[in-house]
Amino acid sequence: GDSVTQMEGPVTLSEEAFLTINCTYTATGYPSLFWYVQYPGEGLQLLLKATKADDKGSNKGFEATYRKETTSFHLEKGSVQVSDSAVYFCALLANEKLTFGTGTRLTIIP
Amino acid sequence: DTAVSQTPKYLVTQMGNDKSIKCEQNLGHDTMYWYKQDSKKFLKIMFSYNNKELIINETVPNRFSPKSPDKAHLNLHINSLELGDSAVYFCATSSGGRRGTDTQYFGPGTRLTVL
């Protein structure tokens, strides 16, 4: 079946550091790929998405590129802020079903 | 207006009780979903409905019964609650149907605690 493997957390970084959260997937066919973010005490918000190979999703300074050859969708941000502290979920969508990774808790310290 | 809303936000109840969680969306989407997030933050789909028709039904105990009175609502009824049902339940919606590329938008979640 479909699956998403995400970098284990928690991840702690200093403000303005570079962020990478790794995500790889296994799926039959050509899924769409997503990053969702969950801020403390809140629901899931879509951060960015990519629907086909080589697409780059971007939002709020975050980027991820759909790499079919490596089945990856790593999340990056050049300079993180304290307000980026949250849990980040990588997910794939195939046959209407979203399959999530286990989530990566990110904490940014000033 | 909130696009996807859930009530209640928190629900604390005793084992063995029956409870319902409601979800409403004003996005005009055709498909609605229920997800369960456990204490380790792991998210898993439970059900999806498209135009009031059940499409996805994962391996969920039959104590859980979704009900869709109309396209804008998908409620989750749980009978005979057990300790293991304690979790955060998220409703989500998408405009797609079966195209498989449509983004899902999530509600704020309902934290269920079974004592």
User: For residue A35, what are the CA distances in angstroms to A6, A22, B38?
Assistant: 11, 11, 19
Please give the interface size between A and B, counted as residue pairs whose CB atoms are below 8 Å apart.
Answer: 61
Between B53 and A50, whose confidence is greater? A50
Interface touch A96/B42, C-beta < 8 Å: no
Give B98's pLDDT tier (boundaries 50, 70, 90): low
| Radius of gyration for chain B, computed over Cα atoms and rounded to the nearest angstrom | 13
| Measured distance CA(A37)–CA(A43) in Å, rounded | 8
Q: What is the pLDDT of residue A40?
A: 87
Residue B97 pLDDT grade (very low, low, confident, very high; cuts 50, 70, 90): low
| pLDDT score recorded for residue A95 | 76
**pLDDT bracket for residue B102 (50, 70, 90):** confident
Averaged over A11-32, what is the pLDDT?
94
Cα–Cα distance between A59 and B103 in angstroms, integer? 15
**Residues B3-42 pLDDT 10s:** 899 999 999 999 999 999 999 999 999 889 999 999 888 8
- CB of A39 within 8 Å of a chain B CB? The answer is no
Q: Which two tokens stand for residue A79?
A: 């300079």
Question: What distance in Å separates residue A73's CA from the closest CA in chain B?
Answer: 16
Asked if the Cβ–Cβ distance from B55 to A96 is below 8 Å, we say yes
Average pLDDT of span B79-96: 93
- Quick one: pLDDT at residue B101? 57
The rounded distance, in Å, linking the Cα atoms of A9 and A29 is: 29
Q: B92 CA to chain A: closest CA distance, Å?
A: 9
Judged against a pLDDT cut of 80, whether residue A96 lies above it is answered with no
Token code pair at residue A88: 């980040």
Cβ-contact A108, A30 below 8 angstroms: no
State the pLDDT at residue A60.
95
DSSP assignment of chain A equals --EEEE--S-EEEETT--EEE-EEEE-SS--EEEEEEE-TT--EEEEEEE-STT-EEEETTEEEE-BTTTTB--EEESS--GGG-EEEEEEEEETTEEEE---EEEEEE-
Q: Decide if pLDDT at B109 tops 80.
A: yes
In contact, B64 and B81? CB cutoff 8 Å? no
pLDDT of B100 strictly over 70: no
Cβ–Cβ contacts within 10 Å for residue B67, how many?
13
- Residue contact A44–B100, C-beta within 8 A: no
Token reading at A87: 């849990």
From residue B82, how far is each of A13, B19, B39, B60, B62 by CA, in Å? 39, 11, 15, 13, 13
Q: In sequence order, what are the beta bridge partners of B33?
A: B48, B92
Q: What pLDDT shows up at residue A63?
A: 98
Mean pLDDT, range A5-23, rounded to an integer: 94
C-alpha distances in Å from residue A54, one per residue of A32, B65, B73? 12, 40, 36
Per-residue confidence (pLDDT) for residue B99, from 0 to 100: 52
Determine the residue of chain B that is closest to A3 in CA distance. Answer: B44
Summarised one tens digit per residue, pLDDT across range B36-84 is 999 888 899 998 888 778 887 787 889 999 999 888 999 999 999 999 9
Strands A86-94, A104-109: pairing kind: antiparallel
